Amino acid sequence: MKLESIIEALNNGEIGRVSELTKQALDEGNGVKTVLDTLIKGMDDVGAKFRENEIFIPEVLISAKAMHAGLNILEPLLSASGIRPLAKVCIGTVKGDLHDIGKNLVAMMFRGAGFEVMDLGIDVPVEKFIDAAKQEEMNIIAMSSLLTTSMGVMKHVIERLKEQGLGNRVKTMVGGAPITDEFARSIGADGYAKDASSAVEKARELIGLHKKNK
């Protein structure tokens, strides 16, 4: 089989076929890293189509589920092979906000791009983000808010990270309907993403995989 078949199935959201083709690729002697890179390439293609408005959130969600079908097969082998994630990301909807659809999509896209993700869920207080950063040694904290009343929590998290001496080690990202790049800069966030696809690009940039656009 051609590895491109996995990319095609992922783009089409064929969950069972992605699982089947992932197993087949391994059985035919392809390395775990090679198959993982193929899945990531497929999800990158989905992200690019999403950015260009060629597909929409329902299609992205289905493709993300297909990606996870492949990852579920690879995960035990990845650990055994010593292949490490790109970085560790902690994500959550901040205290006072119970919205999670966008946050869940971003988390899935992060996993699909090769990041290890800790999802803290919704209504997450400041100290829970800080504890994750310290105890789990997170590289990135990604915060979501869809309510203007909860946006201020993001600033408090960033301030607490600095107070704890974590401001240089842990990068911060913010997003959500009322969030803007200007707001992100005003609270000292390291990055802003308007959607799930650009969140992946920003996370890669923050850990040094992509150069910042000038």
Q: Is-catalytic flag, 97? A: yes
Identified catalytic residue from 99, 100, 123, 195: 99
Express each pLDDT in 68-109 by its tens digit. Answer: 999 999 988 987 888 889 999 999 999 999 999 899 999 999
Which structure tokens are listed for 190?
Answer: 């390291």
pTM recorded for the entire structure: 0.85
Express each pLDDT in 173-209 by its tens digit. Answer: 999 999 999 999 999 999 999 998 899 999 999 999 7
Torsion, Cα of 156, 160, 162, 168 (10° steps): -90
Tell me the C-alpha distance between 13 and 187, whole Å: 38
Identified catalytic residue from 19, 63, 68, 97: 97
Q: Which domains does the chain have, with CATH numbers?
A: 4-81 (1.10.1240.10), 88-206 (3.40.50.280)
